[in-house]
Amino acid sequence: MAWECVRCQKKIFVPRERAIKFAIEWKYAKRNKVLSVDIRNLKKIKPKATITHVQCGEPEVEGFERRIRDGLKIPDDFDHPLLV
């Protein structure tokens, strides 16, 4: 199983057994209008989660903010420092 990093658009793969790998998981709570970011173990992240590398070595690919908004279903009128 693999996810796509929303920032650089490269694959993040499930780690091998005994390997510890982490990613940044983005969540948006529609009810409270709160955007949160957590560092989580890849083994505990759901298949449809919106994630990025913990330390993304690639430069940000154009359209990052739009992909985050689409992936988390964030409305266009919602501004947040994490999206800048």
Spatial distance between the Cα atoms of 27 and 70, rounded to a whole number of angstroms:
12
The 3-state DSSP class for residue 84 equals: coil
The rounded mean pLDDT for the chain is 88
Taking the C-alpha atoms of residue 52 and residue 4, their distance in angstroms, rounded to an integer, is 8
Q: How many domains does the chain have?
A: 1
Q: What percent of the chain has pLDDT over 90?
A: 40
Q: pTM for this structure?
A: 0.81
Rounded to the nearest angstrom, the gap between the alpha carbon of residue 23 and the centroid of all alpha carbons in its chain is 8
Question: What is the domain extent for residue 53?
Answer: 2-83
